[in-house]
Amino acid sequence: MKVAVIHAPGEVRMDTHDIPVPGANDVVVKIAACGICGSDLTFVKLGGLAGPAGPMPLGHEMSGTVSAVGSAIKNIAVGQRVIVNPYANLIGNGGTEGAFADYLLVRDALRVSDNLLVIPDNVSMEHAALAEPLAVALHGVNRAEPKPGDKVALFGAGPIGLGAVVGLRRRGVEDIVVVDYSSFRLERARLLGARATINPAKQDVRKTLGELHGTQPHFITGTDVVNTDTFIDMAGAPTLIPSIIDMCRMGARIVVTAVYSAPVPIDMRMMLAKEVTLAMAIGYPVEFPEIVQMLSAREVNLEPMISHRFPFSDFHTAFDTARDAQHSTKVMVTFP
């Protein structure tokens, strides 16, 4: 079988491996679909999880069909359609297996709760493969503690940002403004339920947010601040957090899910003066099962999240497409 493996910075090879044979506690999954994540792009750029460290299999946003089970596995059967939670075995994140492969060995498959989740029959494999980024996005939304009626500004309309629009609507939030430099991605955000979008290349973010959410003078600085309740950073631009602190109102909440590669200076005096709450979000400690329920209920049309589909045989073309943030969202790799 073929496996996409990072061998050096910027170098991904299609290696040939034997089809895995499960141990007593393992499961083998025939991969059906796997999305390209922004972290995959970073891993390839670095040559590994945090830099060159030997060959590293790639891919963690997967769905597939169980093709073999170990002798100790009693509640997972061959032929079941499943999503694999990649956290448990670091699948595609520095572990020994990656999901850009014809077959995936899931070691100690039942060791962790919610490690394998059965895909409902009415959910396509490609939509099932969106479960992982949707769970990341929902955890960021949960950390924002949103309430119906809140006014939210979401920065970054990549796959996680688009997933956050879905998550916010699921939590009853309707006044969602999405900020991104890609008109292509902003259109997808509107299709998923954003009330409005802002392109900083064409609009002043602070001025436009003030028009959409209203303004008020800050009692200390005397300058007008925007009445946005919550700001969610899924973009990771170095100047973004300082600009949010500068424009936000008293008691605003800021949630960061973006990964920063360098420290960002923060004006703690202004945060104090505005009683700003800063929260961070990583992964999906409890969100995976809820996402599967959402997929089963078909509560939202997820097609706007997927911009491109490529067969595994065109993996390198798929990867190049995912690098073009202006004209792609989720690039999905499919397997025969």
pLDDT tens digits for 295-319?
Answer: 998 888 999 999 999 999 999 999 9
pLDDT at residue number 113: 57
**287 C-beta neighbours (distance < 10 Å), count:** 22
Please tell me the predicted confidence (pLDDT) of residue 218.
Answer: 82
Would you say residue 49 has pLDDT above 90?
Answer: no
Per-residue pLDDT tens digits for 247-256: 999 999 999 9
- Apex CA 214: angle with CA 213 and CA 217, to 5°? 135
Query: Is residue 292 within 8 Å of 269, Cβ to Cβ?
Result: no
The CATH number corresponding to 2-130+302-334 among 3.20.20.140, 3.90.180.10, 3.10.20.30, 3.30.70.420 equals 3.90.180.10
Average pLDDT over the chain reads: 94
What distances in angstroms separate CA 182 from CA 36, 155, 327, one per listed residue? 18, 12, 7
What is the reported pLDDT for 115?
82
| pLDDT exceeds 80 at position 111 | no
Apex 284 CA angle, 281 and 287, nearest 5: 120
Does domain 133-280 correspond to CATH entry 3.40.50.720?
yes
d(CA 154, CA 174): 12
Look-up: residue for tokens 């609009």?
203
Torsion region of 135: left, alpha or beta (phi above 0 gives left; psi -120 to 50 gives alpha) = alpha
pLDDT at 298 (0 to 100): 87
Predicted pLDDT at 122: 92
User: Which pLDDT band holds residue 88 (cuts at 50, 70, 90)?
Assistant: confident
Are the beta carbons of 140 and 279 closer than 8 angstroms?
no
Question: pLDDT, tens digit, for every residue of 159-173?
Answer: 999 999 999 999 999
pLDDT digits (tens, 9 = 90+) for 91-100: 999 989 999 9
Angle, in degrees to the nearest 10, between helices 159-170 and 183-192: 20
Contacts of 231 (CB under 8 A, 6+ apart): 152, 153, 154, 155, 244, 248, 252, 253, 254, 255
Q: pLDDT > 70: what percent of the chain?
A: 99
DSSP states of 163-181 as a string? HHHHHHHHTT--EEEEE-S
Rounded mean pLDDT of 65-90?
91
133-280 has the same fold as 2-130+302-334: no
- What mean pLDDT comes out for the span 124-133? 96
Write out the two tokens for 206: 């602070």
Mean pLDDT, residues 326-333 taken together: 96
The pLDDT tens digits for 236-290 are 999 999 999 999 999 999 999 999 989 999 999 999 999 999 999 999 989 999 9
The confidence band for 138, taking pLDDT boundaries of 50, 70 and 90, is very high
Domain residue ranges in the chain: 2-130+302-334, 133-280
Mean pLDDT of 192-203: 97
Q: pLDDT band at 89, cuts 50/70/90?
A: confident
Q: Which residues pair with 148 in a beta bridge?
A: none
Between 50 and 145, the higher pLDDT residue: 145
